[in-house]
């Protein structure tokens, strides 16, 4: 990613796995520099390629993320029910294709069982501790979620509370959430 890439300033996406389900939460703030452009963006989407359900959240350039989500859907249609293979195939293509190399975004994707973070560097990462986060407030949300995993809270309660903590700390994150739940 280029050093002047502003995509890290404007979103927080968190995935929490617990009790046979995964919750993906994303805030709604879109910032351009120090200005809030929109407070109600939907950065978490439910995809249904070929009847196979996946939830994806994105951080970074919106247009780039939509291009990547389209590619991911195509990979999922080509490899139904094989999220890991589709993610690896997409990450390879993202890293080697001259057009895709310029895309500046990150994704969290899940089918309710597996959770992956996909980057333009060719990474397909399966997080430890049943939580993953990306974006400007991602580290705050991740730390909060990991701490809350010690409680009896549900995945959605953990995700909502961790996102509220991130919104209190990160000026590029707001409390206007989109939350999607998918079961294993």
Spans of all domains in the chain? 6-171
Show which residues are catalytic.
11
Mean pLDDT computed over every residue of the chain: 91
Q: In sequence order, which ranges of 29-169 are alpha helices (DSSP H)?
A: 62-78, 83-96, 138-148, 155-169
Q: Which fold has domain 6-171?
A: 3.60.20
Which residues on adjacent β-strands are paired with residue 130?
none
Q: Order the strands of the 124-125 sheet from edge to edge.
A: 44-47, 54-60, 105-110, 115-118, 124-125
* pLDDT tens by residue, 98-156: 888 888 889 999 999 999 999 988 899 999 999 999 999 999 999 999 999 999 999 99
pTM of the model: 0.92
Confidence of residue 33 (pLDDT cuts 50, 70, 90): confident
């Amino acid at each position: 990613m280029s050093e002047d890439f502003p995509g890290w300033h404007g979103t927080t996406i968190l995935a929490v796995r617990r009790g046979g389900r995964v919750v993906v939460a994303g805030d709604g703030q879109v910032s351009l520099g120090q200005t809030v452009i929109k407070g109600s963006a939907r950065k978490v989407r439910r995809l249904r390629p070929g009847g196979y359900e996946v939830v994806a959240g994105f951080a970074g350039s919106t247009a780039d993320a939509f291009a990547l989500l389209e590619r991911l859907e195509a990979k999922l249609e080509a490899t139904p029910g094989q999220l890991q293979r589709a993610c690896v195939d997409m990450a390879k293509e993202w890293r080697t294709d001259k057009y895709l190399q310029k895309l500046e975004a990150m994704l969290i994707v899940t089918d309710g069982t597996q959770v992956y973070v996909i980057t333009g560097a060719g990474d397909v990462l399966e997080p430890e501790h049943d939580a993953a986060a990306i974006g400007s407030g991602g580290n705050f949300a991740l730390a909060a979620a990991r701490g809350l995993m010690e409680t009896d809270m549900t995945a959605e309660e953990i995700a909502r509370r961790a996102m509220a903590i991130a919104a209190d700390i990160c000026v590029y994150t707001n409390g206007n959430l989109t939350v999607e739940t998918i079961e294993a």
